[in-house]
Structure 1
Amino acid sequence: MHITILGGGGFLGRKLAARLSETGTLAGETISSLTLFDMAPPPAPEKAPFPVRCLTGDVADPQALGEAIPPETRVVFQLAAVVSAAAEADFDLGVRVNLQGSLALIEVARRCGVPPRIVFTSSVASFSGDQSTVMADDARQMPLNSYGAEKAAAELMLQDASRRGMLDAVNIRLPTVIVRPGRPNKAASSFVSAILREPLLGLETSLPVDEAFALWVSSPRVVVGWLLKAAEMDTSALGTDRGINPPGLTVTVGEMLAALSPAERALVKSEPDPVVAGIVGGWPARFAATRALALGFQPQVGLAEILQAFREDDLAQTRAERGH
């Protein structure tokens, strides 16, 4: 079984590649080879029991994708994206990567010998709602930002390609993933990881929203499990609706800050940012996720579990990378 990870150099791509290397199998089949594809050279996982290719290129270029996704590919994890605030700031770039990249993926997938499973990482940003909204599994996607619109449009095209038998897609609408290792990025939700990660490193950080603000979140460890579940599951249970709202967790900013020590909490400085607040303020903070639970997707249990996962998996490496 050949697998390709688009966005293989990102933190989720690296974690997914490491997990596949540990098991050496997917859906009960032996992994024969793995391709990691990104704009910059993605690192190969250590001690992979199969050959790993690390390629660079433009995700919206069918020729580059054709090299990354050979005809024998069985599973493609599409993790490559221009994140929320960056897509809002640069409309053309967001459309190119988030939408045209998905159209290029469909074009290349049609050349595979067997229609491959495509695991597409969509987002809660493809919905809109206020802090009290509970999104049902069949809720209409009405994004209030370009990133969410691009993700929703890509979902529709992948769903239609699945209907036509060109590929076999599962669209996972990820919550805000915390705690992200490394450094802050250009996502509007970057502060959600930063208000936990930076104090644990002894660094100050800013808080652009108030402490009552609630978000739908999950840990990288649980998200990798969801991606593998999406790759292995029997999609006949999905029918024509290929979108899944996975079972994340609702937490407020205040609850996250309360999980820190007093000294760590003091490093988080309130600095209201109307641009960031305007983007994340349209993201629902609660989802029913009944469909995902019935399909066997693992729920995100609690904030303590999220922090423990970061301490075990990423804190030491992040501290070493950033010199703190």
Structure 2
Amino acid sequence: MSTRIVITGGAGFLGAVLARRLLAAPIGLGGAAPEELGELVLVDLFPPPADLVADPRVRVITGDLTTALPGLGPVDAIFHLAGVVSGAAEADFDLGMRTNLDGTRALLEYARGLETPPVLVFSSSLAVFGSDPAIGPIGEVDDTTLPRPQGSYGVQKFIGEQLVADYSRKGFVRGRSVRLMTVSVRPGKPNAAASSFLSGMIREPLAGVRAACPVPPDTAIALSSPRKTLDGLLLAASVDDSTWGSRTAMNLPALTTTPKEMAAALDRVAGAGTSDLIDWTDDPAVGAIVGSWPARFHTPRAEKLGLEPELSFDDIVSAYLADR
């Protein structure tokens, strides 16, 4: 027996790292014993990195998700990472709705038509939580906190969570929604996410390039490393339905820090003065989005499954340097 797995957004940073993890050591799906990976299908608007294309087990579908669905055939698991990021979804409402909402619904309908319901891991976001102006600051988030998204991206992700939950209740998929924290440090170029600077302010100075931090230095932020984020996605796919438990999305553990503390960690790990390349320039538009997100999480559900946050931002910077 061998498995077929689909990653939407498979050419992006998280998609490519996830693909490499699956190719290196396939996981058991939904509580089953690990089986040989027969085919890994990467769906994205752009081609994935060359090392993935070269692997004979990888099939690449380049194009819009909705047009790719008819050619997928039966699959055992889907990691749905594709989407328009926060800043872009806020700037272009129609694009966000079309990609983040309509694309997710189309994927669920494809899965519904399969003979055997696949395991479906949906990457949601901490952006489903927000500080409602009529209620006040959100404070610490736990596993029962009511989402109150304050931006289009968060609304679209929250609707996606509810769709996954209902398709799971009906038995169409074995869905697991995972709320990702802001991932830092991401390699490569900046993207349109409102939180993109939280990677750029580390990545660029390490490359000798100036970077901007558009929020006040003491802004509290919830972060996760790429490694811990992948651990959460893979665990969601591997556990059985009973162990996963509630159809409600699971918050991943987070490290709470600030840009000021991140800059200090950068200097400790990379050398004093490295953070001098950071320009502290306020951008109210970015600050309004990022400032509405919660920064402190209590995550007993995830921790019961063995997931833990990074202990310090120093460790995250060190890991990024080791992996470059």
**Pair 260,238 (structure 1): closer, same or farther in 2 beyond 3 Å:** closer
From 274, 287, 291, the counterpart of 1:277: 287
| Corresponding position of 1:65 | 69
The 5 A counterparts of 1:29-44 are 29-43=35-49
CA distance in 1, matches of 2:50, 2:40: 10
| Equivalent AA in structure 2 for residue 215 of structure 1 | I
Equivalenced residue count is 310
| Corresponding position of 1:300 | 310
Q: Is the 8 A contact 1:120 1:170 kept in 2?
A: yes
| Equivalent AA in structure 1 for residue 71 of structure 2 | E
CA distance in 1, matches of 2:306, 2:4: 25
With the length of structure 2 as denominator, give the TM-score of the two structures: 0.91
The 5 A counterparts of 1:238-317 are 238-261=244-267, 262-313=272-323, 315=324
CA distance in 2, matches of 1:152, 1:80: 15
The Cα RMSD (Å) is 1.7
CA distance in 1, matches of 2:302, 2:45: 32
**Pair 146,46 (structure 1): closer, same or farther in 2 beyond 3 Å:** closer
Other structure's SS at 2:40 match: strand
Q: Is the 8 A contact 1:169 1:242 kept in 2?
A: no
CA distance in 2, matches of 1:25, 1:104: 26
CA distance in 1, matches of 2:290, 2:257: 14
Q: Identity of aligned pairs, percent?
A: 44
CA distance in 2, matches of 1:166, 1:146: 27
Range that drifts further, 91-100 or 125-134: 125-134
Q: Is the 8 A contact 2:176 2:247 kept in 1?
A: no
The 5 A counterparts of 1:130-145 are 133-145=139-151
| Equivalent AA in structure 1 for residue 313 of structure 2 | L
Q: Which runs of 5+ in 2 are unaligned?
A: none
Other structure's SS at 1:210 match: coil
Q: Is the 8 A contact 1:20 1:26 kept in 2?
A: no
CA distance in 2, matches of 1:44, 1:302: 33
| Equivalent AA in structure 1 for residue 294 of structure 2 | P
CA distance in 1, matches of 2:231, 2:181: 14
Per-residue CA deviation, residues 109-162 of structure 1 (Å, 9 max, x unaligned), is 012221001111100001014777110101111100000000000100110000
> Following TM superposition, by how much is the alpha carbon of 1:222 offset from its aligned partner in structure 2, in angstroms?
1.4
Other structure's SS at 2:77 match: strand
The 5 A counterparts of 1:99-114 are 99-114=101-116
Q: Which runs of 5+ in 1 are unaligned?
A: 316-324
Range that drifts further, 241-250 or 90-99: 241-250
